[in-house]
Amino acid sequence: MKWRVATVVESRAETATARTLVLDVPDWPGHLGGQHVDLRLTADDGYSVQRSYSLASPDRVEIAVQRVDDGEVSPYLTDVFAVGDAIELRGPVGGWFVWRPAATEPVLLVAGGSGIVPLMAMIRARRAAGSKVPFRLIYSVRTPEEIFYADELRRPDPGVDVSYVFSRKAPEGARRPVKRIGLADVTTHGWPPDFQPSCFVCGPTGFVETVADLLVAVGHDPSRVKTERFG
Protein backbone atom coordinates (compact mmCIF):
# COMPACT_ATOMS: atom_id res chain seq x y z
CA MET A 1 0.00 0.00 0.00
CA LYS A 2 1.86 3.00 -1.22
CA TRP A 3 1.65 6.63 -0.15
CA ARG A 4 0.19 8.91 -2.77
CA VAL A 5 0.04 12.68 -2.96
CA ALA A 6 -3.46 14.07 -2.51
CA THR A 7 -4.45 17.66 -3.29
CA VAL A 8 -7.40 19.49 -1.77
CA VAL A 9 -9.86 20.51 -4.49
CA GLU A 10 -12.81 21.47 -2.32
CA SER A 11 -13.17 22.53 1.28
CA ARG A 12 -16.38 23.48 3.05
CA ALA A 13 -17.57 23.83 6.63
CA GLU A 14 -19.71 20.88 7.70
CA THR A 15 -20.50 22.39 11.12
CA ALA A 16 -18.84 25.18 13.12
CA THR A 17 -16.13 22.72 14.15
CA ALA A 18 -15.99 20.23 11.30
CA ARG A 19 -14.84 20.49 7.73
CA THR A 20 -15.39 18.45 4.59
CA LEU A 21 -12.34 18.11 2.33
CA VAL A 22 -12.42 16.66 -1.15
CA LEU A 23 -9.07 15.38 -2.37
CA ASP A 24 -7.77 14.70 -5.81
CA VAL A 25 -5.68 11.53 -5.79
CA PRO A 26 -4.08 10.41 -9.06
CA ASP A 27 -4.68 6.73 -9.93
CA TRP A 28 -7.13 6.23 -7.08
CA PRO A 29 -8.21 2.57 -7.31
CA GLY A 30 -11.77 3.17 -5.98
CA HIS A 31 -13.24 2.06 -2.68
CA LEU A 32 -16.30 0.80 -0.82
CA GLY A 33 -18.48 2.71 1.64
CA GLY A 34 -16.95 2.23 5.08
CA GLN A 35 -13.28 2.22 4.11
CA HIS A 36 -10.87 4.88 5.32
CA VAL A 37 -7.62 6.55 4.36
CA ASP A 38 -4.52 7.32 6.38
CA LEU A 39 -3.05 10.79 6.11
CA ARG A 40 0.59 11.51 6.87
CA LEU A 41 1.69 14.97 8.00
CA THR A 42 5.34 15.92 8.13
CA ALA A 43 6.78 19.05 9.75
CA ASP A 44 9.72 20.78 8.08
CA ASP A 45 12.14 19.16 10.55
CA GLY A 46 10.98 15.69 9.53
CA TYR A 47 8.65 15.05 12.50
CA SER A 48 5.76 13.05 11.15
CA VAL A 49 2.37 11.75 12.32
CA GLN A 50 -0.50 9.83 10.79
CA ARG A 51 -4.23 9.78 11.35
CA SER A 52 -7.11 7.84 9.85
CA TYR A 53 -10.16 9.43 8.26
CA SER A 54 -13.17 7.62 6.85
CA LEU A 55 -14.24 8.16 3.28
CA ALA A 56 -17.58 9.94 3.12
CA SER A 57 -18.52 9.30 -0.48
CA PRO A 58 -18.52 6.14 -2.59
CA ASP A 59 -17.14 7.77 -5.72
CA ARG A 60 -14.62 10.39 -4.65
CA VAL A 61 -12.00 10.87 -1.98
CA GLU A 62 -13.98 12.97 0.45
CA ILE A 63 -13.37 13.14 4.19
CA ALA A 64 -14.89 15.12 7.06
CA VAL A 65 -12.76 16.10 10.01
CA GLN A 66 -14.10 17.05 13.43
CA ARG A 67 -11.82 19.48 15.26
CA VAL A 68 -10.59 18.12 18.59
CA ASP A 69 -9.54 21.31 20.38
CA ASP A 70 -6.41 19.93 22.04
CA GLY A 71 -5.72 17.57 19.14
CA GLU A 72 -2.45 17.42 17.27
CA VAL A 73 -3.75 16.96 13.73
CA SER A 74 -7.46 17.75 13.42
CA PRO A 75 -7.15 21.51 14.15
CA TYR A 76 -4.58 21.70 11.37
CA LEU A 77 -6.89 19.92 8.93
CA THR A 78 -9.96 21.99 9.82
CA ASP A 79 -8.32 25.40 10.18
CA VAL A 80 -5.12 25.52 8.10
CA PHE A 81 -5.28 22.94 5.32
CA ALA A 82 -6.86 24.59 2.26
CA VAL A 83 -7.66 24.18 -1.43
CA GLY A 84 -4.45 23.63 -3.39
CA ASP A 85 -2.53 22.14 -0.43
CA ALA A 86 -1.11 18.65 -0.76
CA ILE A 87 -0.75 15.84 1.74
CA GLU A 88 0.40 12.23 1.74
CA LEU A 89 -2.42 9.71 1.72
CA ARG A 90 -2.63 5.92 1.77
CA GLY A 91 -5.63 3.77 1.07
CA PRO A 92 -8.28 2.67 0.79
CA VAL A 93 -7.83 0.86 4.09
CA GLY A 94 -10.23 -1.51 5.82
CA GLY A 95 -12.20 -4.23 4.11
CA TRP A 96 -14.36 -5.43 6.99
CA PHE A 97 -16.45 -2.44 7.98
CA VAL A 98 -17.93 -2.04 4.49
CA TRP A 99 -21.32 -2.16 2.84
CA ARG A 100 -21.45 -3.74 -0.60
CA PRO A 101 -24.23 -2.57 -2.94
CA ALA A 102 -25.08 -6.19 -3.83
CA ALA A 103 -26.03 -6.96 -0.21
CA THR A 104 -29.74 -7.69 0.35
CA GLU A 105 -30.28 -7.69 4.14
CA PRO A 106 -31.67 -4.64 5.94
CA VAL A 107 -29.09 -2.28 7.36
CA LEU A 108 -28.91 -0.51 10.69
CA LEU A 109 -26.41 2.34 10.96
CA VAL A 110 -25.63 3.83 14.36
CA ALA A 111 -23.39 6.91 14.36
CA GLY A 112 -21.89 8.85 17.23
CA GLY A 113 -20.59 12.30 16.28
CA SER A 114 -18.11 12.17 13.39
CA GLY A 115 -18.83 8.41 13.23
CA ILE A 116 -21.49 9.44 10.70
CA VAL A 117 -18.82 9.76 7.99
CA PRO A 118 -18.38 6.13 6.87
CA LEU A 119 -22.11 5.50 7.39
CA MET A 120 -22.91 8.44 5.11
CA ALA A 121 -20.71 6.79 2.49
CA MET A 122 -22.91 3.70 2.78
CA ILE A 123 -26.14 5.74 2.43
CA ARG A 124 -24.68 7.48 -0.61
CA ALA A 125 -23.48 4.19 -2.07
CA ARG A 126 -27.00 2.74 -1.67
CA ARG A 127 -28.45 5.74 -3.53
CA ALA A 128 -25.80 5.61 -6.25
CA ALA A 129 -26.41 1.92 -6.83
CA GLY A 130 -30.20 2.29 -6.85
CA SER A 131 -30.41 -0.31 -4.10
CA LYS A 132 -33.82 -0.85 -2.50
CA VAL A 133 -32.42 -2.38 0.68
CA PRO A 134 -34.05 -0.68 3.69
CA PHE A 135 -31.66 1.40 5.80
CA ARG A 136 -32.18 2.89 9.23
CA LEU A 137 -29.81 5.45 10.66
CA ILE A 138 -29.65 6.37 14.35
CA TYR A 139 -27.43 9.42 14.62
CA SER A 140 -26.30 10.58 18.04
CA VAL A 141 -24.96 14.11 18.39
CA ARG A 142 -24.68 16.51 21.28
CA THR A 143 -26.65 19.37 19.73
CA PRO A 144 -28.59 20.00 16.49
CA GLU A 145 -25.80 22.34 15.35
CA GLU A 146 -23.37 19.43 15.29
CA ILE A 147 -25.24 17.40 12.68
CA PHE A 148 -23.07 16.65 9.64
CA TYR A 149 -24.79 16.47 6.22
CA ALA A 150 -27.89 18.06 7.76
CA ASP A 151 -29.46 19.17 4.46
CA GLU A 152 -28.77 15.93 2.68
CA LEU A 153 -30.20 13.88 5.54
CA ARG A 154 -33.33 16.04 5.60
CA ARG A 155 -34.05 15.41 1.92
CA PRO A 156 -36.30 12.40 1.40
CA ASP A 157 -34.38 9.25 0.44
CA PRO A 158 -36.98 6.50 0.07
CA GLY A 159 -36.04 3.48 2.15
CA VAL A 160 -33.69 5.38 4.44
CA ASP A 161 -35.15 6.29 7.85
CA VAL A 162 -33.18 8.73 9.95
CA SER A 163 -33.62 9.32 13.67
CA TYR A 164 -31.58 11.50 15.98
CA VAL A 165 -30.40 11.11 19.53
CA PHE A 166 -29.41 14.41 21.18
CA SER A 167 -27.22 14.07 24.20
CA ARG A 168 -26.90 17.70 25.37
CA LYS A 169 -29.44 19.90 23.62
CA ALA A 170 -32.45 18.89 21.54
CA PRO A 171 -34.28 20.95 18.93
CA GLU A 172 -37.44 22.67 20.07
CA GLY A 173 -40.41 20.38 20.32
CA ALA A 174 -38.37 17.18 20.55
CA ARG A 175 -40.15 14.51 22.59
CA ARG A 176 -37.16 12.45 23.52
CA PRO A 177 -35.40 13.78 26.63
CA VAL A 178 -31.82 14.89 26.18
CA LYS A 179 -29.58 11.98 27.16
CA ARG A 180 -27.08 9.49 25.84
CA ILE A 181 -28.15 6.67 23.57
CA GLY A 182 -29.87 3.80 25.35
CA LEU A 183 -31.82 0.62 24.94
CA ALA A 184 -35.06 2.36 23.95
CA ASP A 185 -33.36 4.19 21.07
CA VAL A 186 -31.96 1.00 19.68
CA THR A 187 -35.18 -0.99 19.99
CA THR A 188 -37.46 1.82 18.76
CA HIS A 189 -35.40 3.00 15.81
CA GLY A 190 -33.39 -0.09 14.92
CA TRP A 191 -34.50 -3.39 13.37
CA PRO A 192 -35.77 -6.37 15.32
CA PRO A 193 -33.03 -9.01 15.53
CA ASP A 194 -35.12 -11.58 13.63
CA PHE A 195 -34.91 -9.35 10.53
CA GLN A 196 -31.22 -10.31 10.63
CA PRO A 197 -29.98 -6.86 9.67
CA SER A 198 -26.36 -5.91 9.14
CA CYS A 199 -25.46 -3.43 11.85
CA PHE A 200 -22.69 -0.86 11.49
CA VAL A 201 -21.72 1.14 14.55
CA CYS A 202 -19.18 3.95 14.37
CA GLY A 203 -17.98 6.68 16.68
CA PRO A 204 -15.82 7.23 19.74
CA THR A 205 -14.75 4.03 21.46
CA GLY A 206 -17.08 4.40 24.47
CA PHE A 207 -20.09 5.01 22.24
CA VAL A 208 -19.28 2.04 20.05
CA GLU A 209 -18.85 -0.26 23.05
CA THR A 210 -22.19 0.84 24.52
CA VAL A 211 -24.15 0.45 21.30
CA ALA A 212 -22.57 -2.86 20.30
CA ASP A 213 -23.34 -4.28 23.75
CA LEU A 214 -26.94 -3.06 23.52
CA LEU A 215 -27.40 -4.63 20.09
CA VAL A 216 -26.06 -7.97 21.26
CA ALA A 217 -28.14 -7.75 24.45
CA VAL A 218 -31.37 -7.35 22.47
CA GLY A 219 -30.51 -10.41 20.42
CA HIS A 220 -28.53 -9.35 17.37
CA ASP A 221 -26.04 -11.94 16.19
CA PRO A 222 -22.60 -10.57 17.21
CA SER A 223 -21.21 -11.57 13.81
CA ARG A 224 -23.63 -9.11 12.17
CA VAL A 225 -22.59 -6.19 14.35
CA LYS A 226 -19.61 -4.47 12.77
CA THR A 227 -17.88 -1.65 14.56
CA GLU A 228 -15.38 1.07 13.79
CA ARG A 229 -13.79 2.90 16.72
CA PHE A 230 -12.48 6.39 16.13
CA GLY A 231 -10.49 6.24 19.38
Ligand X SMILES: Cc1cc2nc3c(=O)[nH]c(=O)nc-3n(C[C@H](O)[C@H](O)[C@H](O)COP(=O)(O)OP(=O)(O)OC[C@H]3O[C@@H](n4cnc5c(N)ncnc54)[C@H](O)[C@@H]3O)c2cc1C
Selected binder of other proteins within 63, 87, 123, 201 (CB under 8 A): 87
Selected binder of other proteins within 2, 132, 155, 175 (CB under 8 A): 2
Given ligand X, other proteins, none, residue 51, with its beta carbon under 5 to 8 Å by kind, binds ligand X
Provide the 3-class DSSP secondary structure of residue 140. Answer: strand
User: According to the binding rule CB under 6 A, does residue 78 interact with ligand X?
Assistant: no
Opening angle at CA 146, ends 143 and 152, nearest 5: 120
User: According to the binding rule CB under 6 A, does residue 15 interact with ligand X?
Assistant: no
Binding mask 6-35 for other proteins (x = CB under 8 A): -----------------------x-----x
Selected binder of other proteins within 40, 100, 176, 179 (CB under 8 A): 40
The H-or-E segment that residue 151 falls in is helix 150-154
Report the largest interatomic distance among the alpha carbons of the chain, rounded to a whole angstrom. 56
User: φ, ψ for residue 81 (rounded to 5)?
Assistant: -65, 125
Q: Residues binding other proteins: what is the number (CB under 8 A)?
A: 30
Q: Taking a C-beta distance cutoff of 8 angstroms, is the pair 105, 153 a contact?
A: no
First to last CA, the chain: 23
Using CB under 6 A as the criterion, which residues of the chain lie in contact with ligand X when the complex forms? 36, 51-54, 63-66, 68, 70-74, 114, 117, 228, 230-231
